[in-house]
């Protein structure tokens, strides 16, 4: 039966307590300035600025940037999403036909047939466009643009991983 040696634990506790005493001694040893004890010798402090600022009677409203959903930028983003989804489909299908396996657990049920796999990637593209449209309708234009970017970044990673691990 082995017994544990209490010396390392004792050294750790001692070192920790010593560190705390040294670290807190500087805070405890602070002294009050003599100038604070004799307020007559200290110059008066200037008056602070008012905390509340007056607003103009007619505030100018900034209109949110409106744009059509199918503008040039969204069209380019969605075309990129479709291209990366097609590339991801092609690489995934090729890897599956040569004995590989799908690593994405959401896509794995569709790997039994080429048609199901193609429908999965087409649905993914349609879902990205739908989520982006929802953000557009609710006025979240940054998220509208960010959604396809995140999707094709993930697809680009999947394509590069699939090509690297053939």
Distance CA 139, CA 120 (A): 29
Please report the pLDDT score of residue 64 as a whole number: 60
Please report the pLDDT score of residue 43 as a whole number: 65
Distance CA 125, CA 107 (A): 13
Please report the pLDDT score of residue 92 as a whole number: 96
Which pair of tokens denotes residue 100? 């590989």
Per-residue pLDDT of the chain (166 residues; tens, 9 = 90+): 555 566 666 676 676 666 666 556 555 555 555 555 565 555 666 777 667 776 666 766 665 668 899 999 999 999 999 999 999 999 999 999 999 999 999 999 999 999 999 999 999 999 999 999 999 999 999 999 999 999 999 999 999 999 998 8
Distance CA 111, CA 98 (A): 13
Residue extents of the structural domains in the chain: 72-164
Residue whose C-alpha is closest to residue 83's, from 31, 141, 148, 19: 148
Which pair of tokens denotes residue 45? 């402090």
What single DSSP character describes residue 131? H
Which pair of tokens denotes residue 109? 């049920």
Please report the pLDDT score of residue 110 as a whole number: 95
């Amino acid at each position: 039966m082995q017994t544990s040696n209490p010396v390392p634990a004792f050294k750790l506790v001692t070192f920790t307590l010593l560190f705390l005493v040294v670290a807190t001694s500087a805070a405890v040893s602070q002294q009050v300035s003599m100038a604070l004890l004799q307020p007559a010798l200290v110059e008066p402090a200037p008056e602070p600025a008012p905390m509340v600022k007056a607003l103009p009677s007619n505030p100018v409203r900034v209109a949110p940037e409106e744009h059509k959903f199918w503008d040039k930028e969204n069209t380019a983003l969605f075309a990129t999403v479709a291209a990366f989804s097609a590339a991801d489909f092609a690489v995934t299908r090729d890897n599956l036909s040569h004995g590989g396996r799908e690593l994405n657990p959401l896509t794995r049920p569709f790997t039994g047939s080429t048609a199901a796999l193609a429908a999965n990637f087409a649905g993914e593209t349609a879902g990205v466009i739908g989520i982006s449209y929802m953000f557009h309708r609710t006025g979240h234009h940054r998220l509208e643009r960010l959604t396809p970017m995140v999707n094709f970044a993930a697809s680009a990673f999947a394509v590069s991983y699939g090509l690297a691990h053939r």
